[in-house]
Structure 1
Amino acid sequence: MFDRLTRLREVARWMGPSWLAGAIAAGPATMASLLTAGAAFGYDLLWVVVLSAVLGTLAQYLSMRLGLLTERGIVAAVERHLGGGWAWVLVVDAVLAAGLAQLVIMKGLADVTAALTGIDARVAGVGWALVLAVGLAGGGYRVAELGAKVLVAGVVLAFVATLSAVPVDATAALGGLVPAVPDGGALLVAGILGGAVHVTLVTMHTYTVRARGWTREDHAAATLDVVGSMGVAFGAYSLAIFLVAASVLGGTPDVTAVAAGRALAPVAGASAEWLFLLGLLGAAVSTLGGNTVVPPYLVADRLGWDTDVEDPRYRALLAGTALASAAGAFLGGAFFPLLVLVIAFGLVATPFALAVVLYLLNDPAAVPSVNGRLANLAGGALLAIVVAVNVARLRERVALSGGAGALDLAVLAFAVVTGAATLLVLGKLWRRSYAPGRRRRTDSDSR
């Protein structure tokens, strides 16, 4: 028994970078999407939940591989092999998505804190922003990683325990594994998938593997880290929340945080709402801790600064990002619907980042060992699915609203710009590696 515990401690000690991504993925926005989907459509979207864990693992694997093989953050790699202009496009793309998510998640954290303590949500938001700034600017990556491990593991265990106490309709669940999008369900498909495949996760992982000190020799450990966090922990988290929601809340189209808390009643009884709010609080804290480092990583890398708290410029940027998130506490509206919308917006920003990762992983000048055919097929399928979900979501939104409003037009314009950039990058990849008459180069050709 002692030897087994020792091995578990050793595993926990070296695992880390992907758990930080898992902490963001297993955040309140994903929780809101899963709960709303299960409540509104029962088990019908179970296939998306399973697919999100698989595709999230694939996206993190490709990102991890890029970080290890280039030994650079993604922005520096793009600047060197695609050019400075493309690097700025990636920075703007990711910072917009991460910044919007930061504000809405802070609103959720502030509102939950207010519900638990009675403190005014705006005061709570300012307080959390200060805690975030001091903690991250003082401790940097290690603080975020430690918090991610503890909070993600705790949230997963809480919902798995709840799942064991609720009746799951096995027949209906099996039917939910058949891919189909019910009317009005495209936004929730985008929300669920966007929780696992998101531009912030794709970009940040190239930095966190380096912050951990991993090199090309740690490829096996880094792969296990990705599978353990995104494939196992995030997958269990997503399945447990969705199945609980479908079993207990099925037939409830408009879910609030209070109503969602009742899903835990089979385990927690009268304390269900409090337990759920505490879980939501933990998810929000862990997500903000990870999400806060993303814009500073990208901006600092583009400006040539060190992406470490030892560099006072990066530390100031990190603290400033944390403090700016306090503005989210002053947003109006219910935060559950906002969380679903913001994660769906992040999915719109993701195809460009995926295209960039695939381009660099197929460039012998960027990596010593380019992607094999299987990795490229999987990456291409991932990109195609994300694009298809984005298109379906935008079409549904316009159809349901009876036309494009100002917000829809803004999102559409963003999608058109990033879509055009994605096509240009993929075109460059095709011309260099796959155009007729050209033999695809490998790293052996360049030696």
Structure 2
Amino acid sequence: MAVAGTAGPKLARVRAGSMLLGPAFVAAIAYVDPGNVASNISAGAQFGYLLVWVIVAANLMAGLVQYLSAKLGLVTGMSLPEAVRERTPRAGRLAYWAQAELVAVATDLAEVVGGAIALNLLFQLPLVVGGVITGIVSMGLLLVQDRRGQRPFERVITGLLAIIAIGFLASVFVEPPSGSGILGGLVPRFDGAESVLIAAAMLGATVMPHAVYLHSGLARDRHGKPEGRGLSRLLRITRFDVGLAMLLAGAVNLSMVLLAATVLRGRADVDSIAGAHSAIGQLLGGGVALLFAIGLLASGLASTSVGAYAGAMIMQGLLRKRIPLLLRRLVTLVPAILVLAAGADPSRALVVSQVVLSFGIPFALIPLVRITSDRSVMGANANHRVTTGLAWAIAAVIIALNVALIYLTFAG
């Protein structure tokens, strides 16, 4: 009876803690969007296991970054865009918002194009029609958040995240990858300018700027601004929340690279997502190909909703302007539809959009590190010197990769 009596309160505490999980899983959708599919499949198909280390490093970076973002929201009661606004003059604030809006457009481009490709693979719909449908469905998901609140929205997005995971992890069990290949891929290296381009795309698709902005607001809106022991408890739970979400997102991303490295390496017909889907069907069967397409569709629908949500939070935080949901959705949706209507290669457009996102990362990351390291803002919860050092190292690596990308691209 004593054991049962002890287990009861512990179980109750675990259940109560689990109810506080969720914001990180919404942010994690940004890490498994269609841009990830395009860049990860390209990485594995072109370079085999060479860039496995990029996925591992990017997800470790993402875990630290997302925790710092959530911590900012919990400790200060502000989102990152609001914190930037408080420290930036008007002209600088407008310029900062302009680059953030460009990042939001690039984000939505990847997600709408990915949804359009998935609908084309599943139902043979024209890409433009698929893009419009993706936009309409994402609008419906946003209405859930707008009218029902954050918790129902989190449940819907987490459910879509589970579908994404099943869709892409299935292939690893059907065709297990090479253990020695994976170990070899953990050694950091490149193989020419194209591998740097793909690595930058993988990084841009993983450590995504809008997820950095968003997580601070998600944590604040869910939990408010707790104090004392309540804040300490929430910070512990947030670390667990971020760890679980990044572990799942990392496993999905790694499975994409391993699928391409194991099954698609060296094939001439996999230079697009559609080509990869066809090859997967031929080599692994129609069931795996169907799961791949369903996972891609869930990815597009969920990530474009989360991206639009982040765009609204960025505008409201930086400019103190709230615009109607439909208009906010059109701002980033229209460019994506125009790209599809122009007949651009959708898979290449996905990869290029991720490179644009990679260039936007420092604008989100540098203010985040500076603010969360400031004791006048964060008090006793300011970053430890080791944490600050790691965060600055992450920013330096990302910036260095982008500089190398520019040099190798134009030098070649």
TM-score band, normalised by the shorter chain?
0.7 to 0.9
Q: CA contact under 8 A between 2:111 and 2:304: conserved in structure 1?
A: yes
The equivalent residue for 2:180 is 171
Q: For residues 269-324 of structure 1, give each alpha carbon's deviation from its aligned partner in whole angstroms, at most 9, with x where no partner exists.
A: 13443332221111111111111112211112233257xxxxxx454554444764
Q: For residues 320-350 of structure 1, give each alpha carbon's deviation from its aligned partner in whole angstroms, at most 9, with x where no partner exists.
A: 4476454454242221121111111111011
For the structure 1 residues 68 and 259, does the alpha-carbon distance in structure 2 shift closer, same or farther, using more than 3 Å as the test?
A: same
Name the amino acid aligned to 1:273.
A
1:125-140 pair list within 5 angstroms: 125-140=131-146
Q: Does 1:212 align with 2:222?
A: yes
Q: For residues 9-57 of structure 1, give each alpha carbon's deviation from its aligned partner in whole angstroms, at most 9, with x where no partner exists.
A: 7666432111111112101101111111011111111111111110111
The equivalent residue for 1:289 is 305
From 145, 154, 175, the counterpart of 1:145: 154
Shift of 1:134: 3.7
The equivalent residue for 2:343 is 332
Q: Distance in 1 between matches of 2:139 and 2:183?
A: 45
Q: For residues 82-119 of structure 1, give each alpha carbon's deviation from its aligned partner in whole angstroms, at most 9, with x where no partner exists.
A: 44444333322221111122134212322331332233
The equivalent residue for 1:120 is 126
Q: Distance in 1 between matches of 2:248 and 2:206?
A: 12
Q: Does 1:280 align with 2:291?
A: no
Q: Describe the SS at the equivalent of 2:393.
A: helix
The equivalent residue for 1:397 is 409
Shift of 1:395: 1.7
**Greater relative contact order (CA < 8 Å, ≥ 6 in sequence):** 2
Deviates more, 1:332-341 or 1:11-20: 11-20
Q: CA contact under 8 A between 1:130 and 1:322: conserved in structure 2?
A: no
For the structure 1 residues 382 and 88, does the alpha-carbon distance in structure 2 shift closer, same or farther, using more than 3 Å as the test?
A: same
From 228, 239, 243, the counterpart of 2:254: 239
Q: Distance in 2 between matches of 1:211 and 1:314?
A: 19
Q: Distance in 2 between matches of 1:89 and 1:367?
A: 26
From 361, 365, 370, the counterpart of 1:354: 365
Q: For residues 394-427 of structure 1, give each alpha carbon's deviation from its aligned partner in whole angstroms, at most 9, with x where no partner exists.
A: 1222133xxxxxxxxxxxxxxxxxxxxxxxxxxx
Q: Distance in 2 between matches of 1:38 and 1:11?
A: 38
For the structure 1 residues 357 and 89, does the alpha-carbon distance in structure 2 shift closer, same or farther, using more than 3 Å as the test?
A: farther
The equivalent residue for 1:73 is 79
From 36, 44, 47, the counterpart of 1:41: 47
Q: Describe the SS at the equivalent of 2:242.
A: helix
Name the amino acid aligned to 1:219.
L
Name the amino acid aligned to 2:262.
S
Shift of 1:201: 1.3
Shift of 1:163: 0.8
TM-score by length of 1: 0.80
Q: Supply the RMSD in Å over aligned alpha carbons.
A: 2.7
For the structure 1 residues 109 and 372, does the alpha-carbon distance in structure 2 shift closer, same or farther, using more than 3 Å as the test?
A: same
Q: Describe the SS at the equivalent of 1:130.
A: helix
1:223-262 pair list within 5 angstroms: 223-230=239-246, 232-252=247-267, 254-262=270-278
Q: CA contact under 8 A between 1:261 and 1:275: conserved in structure 2?
A: no
For the structure 1 residues 130 and 162, does the alpha-carbon distance in structure 2 shift closer, same or farther, using more than 3 Å as the test?
A: closer
Q: Distance in 2 between matches of 1:139 and 1:11?
A: 22
Q: CA contact under 8 A between 2:170 and 2:291: conserved in structure 1?
A: no
Q: Does 1:368 align with 2:379?
A: yes
Deviates more, 1:261-270 or 1:349-358: 261-270
Q: Distance in 1 between matches of 2:326 and 2:359?
A: 29
Deviates more, 1:79-88 or 1:39-48: 79-88
Q: Does 1:385 align with 2:407?
A: no
Give unmatched runs, 5+ long, in structure 1: 307-312, 401-447
Q: Describe the SS at the equivalent of 1:164.
A: helix
Give unmatched runs, 5+ long, in structure 2: 1-7
For the structure 1 residues 398 and 322, does the alpha-carbon distance in structure 2 shift closer, same or farther, using more than 3 Å as the test?
A: closer
The structure with the greater share of residues assigned to helix is: 2
Q: Distance in 2 between matches of 1:87 and 1:75?
A: 10
Q: Describe the SS at the equivalent of 2:114.
A: helix
Q: CA contact under 8 A between 1:200 and 1:291: conserved in structure 2?
A: yes
The equivalent residue for 2:4 is none
Shift of 1:65: 1.6
Q: CA contact under 8 A between 2:144 and 2:153: conserved in structure 1?
A: no
Q: CA contact under 8 A between 1:78 and 1:86: conserved in structure 2?
A: no
TM-score by length of 2: 0.86
Q: Distance in 2 between matches of 1:108 and 1:261?
A: 13
Q: CA contact under 8 A between 2:111 and 2:299: conserved in structure 1?
A: no
Q: For residues 360-402 of structure 1, give each alpha carbon's deviation from its aligned partner in whole angstroms, at most 9, with x where no partner exists.
A: 12323322232211111111111011011111211222133xx
Q: Distance in 1 between matches of 2:131 and 2:353?
A: 18
Q: CA contact under 8 A between 1:258 and 1:273: conserved in structure 2?
A: no
The equivalent residue for 1:200 is 210
Q: Distance in 1 between matches of 2:21 and 2:371?
A: 26
Q: Distance in 1 between matches of 2:11 and 2:260?
A: 34
For the structure 1 residues 323 and 381, does the alpha-carbon distance in structure 2 shift closer, same or farther, using more than 3 Å as the test?
A: closer
Q: For residues 183-233 of structure 1, give each alpha carbon's deviation from its aligned partner in whole angstroms, at most 9, with x where no partner exists.
A: 120011111111221211111111111222243411111111111111x11
Q: Identity over the aligned pairs, expressed in percent?
A: 27
